[in-house]
Structure 1
């Protein structure tokens, strides 16, 4: 628990605010997709898995590229694994990734936090252009004080320098920040960095055995305003 009031809520983007499975799900429901539509859950899972693995491997090896490149690389692996060699499908899936919807509870949740006067930001592996596109397509313009991208430090999460962007650009100590992510490894790493943390555990997964642990666990983002209100006044 934080030893003082929380002054800002900082969100991971992909999988936390924005539904990364939506691109494959939407494409599978479009005309002409009948031949591969049944494969979309595995395709989406493989795409996400490889996308994240490539960020970790590139961070460890110092071979940084932006998140759009690893998103394409992960999709190419997933398509090959599914036996799908279709340039038009690849192009459609990538286009949809720029239009990912927010999870259903997100607009109301963010509105409630704004009504509380909370400072809000995103801290993401996404490149600046991708983050601007996601926020715009979800009609969330003007909600966030900052869209913080790993491109400012040239290495992906969970490198500590990424979490340090919050203090550098928002003028906050780690203990003044509630960091919210659906990625267990991200929350654990953020907790080890010194943030107060909330894990959005949509899949009821076990807690990762890492060097930090989430302080709060939520099934979705609906209860975040009540949680943050308590943390901000020091009562939770």
Structure 2
């Protein structure tokens, strides 16, 4: 069946998760942090994801804002910046104002022009996602923002991907699911979606039971993959 519905992961896919640390590092008086910001941002993101997986396995669910704080605390501790509460608060504030990647608005507009359903499906909590969508100014080109909080478990649990069909009434093979996380794209492919992995870093494909149908360097090619009537 043709694609009718384009679903996007949020963090790292539409929104640049490195922007909070990068922007903080550029502020006056943060020379020590500026020397470490890239490594801290990488550790922050990795721990944030690891904590979602571990909580999903153990059934000890909390919202994404808590794991975001926990991941940052680990990263600051590991880098010796845990004694700077003002820096911690500034990084968390900036996380609510993440920048969208430059191609995102035009890409979403092109999908809407083709008549596609468009939505986010994210681990993020609803307030976090609302803040990011409003900050990026993309609310008018999204039909919905779906959060795992409605089912109480993080991706890649299958009940999360169920939310797409429940919301849009579409079959799995009508969905193009887009994520910058290789594991997410693989899990969604195993679920039955057509998937596109946005591999900005040029990483190897994850060795998982399913693989994404498409691998892209950024989001500009998504409207072409989705097809539909221009």
Question: What TM-score do you get using the length of structure 1 for normalisation?
Answer: 0.95
Q: Residue 114 of structure 2 aligns with which residue?
A: 116
Q: Residue 44 of structure 2 aligns with which residue?
A: 47
The 2-side partners of 1:223 and 1:6 are apart by: 14
SS where residue 141 of structure 2 aligns?
coil
Q: Does residue 6 in structure 1 map to residue 3 in structure 2? A: yes
1:192 to 183, 190, 193: 190
Displacement after TM superposition at 1:11 (Å):
0.2
Q: Residue 98 of structure 2 aligns with which residue?
A: 100
The 2-side partners of 1:56 and 1:221 are apart by: 26
Query: Matches of residues 130-141 of structure 1 in structure 2 within 5 Å?
Result: 130-141=128-139
Bigger CA drift: 184-193 or 105-114?
105-114
1:24 to 5, 21, 27: 21
Displacement after TM superposition at 1:221 (Å):
0.4
Query: Matches of residues 1-236 of structure 1 in structure 2 within 5 Å?
Result: 4-84=1-81, 85-229=83-227, 232=228
Displacement after TM superposition at 1:141 (Å):
1.7
Residues 48-76 of structure 1: CA distance to partner in whole angstroms, max 9, x if unpaired?
00000000000000000000000000000
Residues 57-106 of structure 1: CA distance to partner in whole angstroms, max 9, x if unpaired?
00000000000000000000000001002100000000000000000111
Displacement after TM superposition at 1:41 (Å):
0.3
Displacement after TM superposition at 1:35 (Å):
2.0
Displacement after TM superposition at 1:144 (Å):
1.0
Total equivalences in the alignment:
228
The 2-side partners of 1:169 and 1:195 are apart by: 15
Unpaired runs of at least 5, structure 2: none
Residues 129-160 of structure 1: CA distance to partner in whole angstroms, max 9, x if unpaired?
11111000001122111100000100000000
SS where residue 99 of structure 1 aligns?
coil
Unpaired runs of at least 5, structure 1: none
RMSD, matched Cα? 0.9
Runs of 4+ in 1 over 2 A off after TM superposition: none
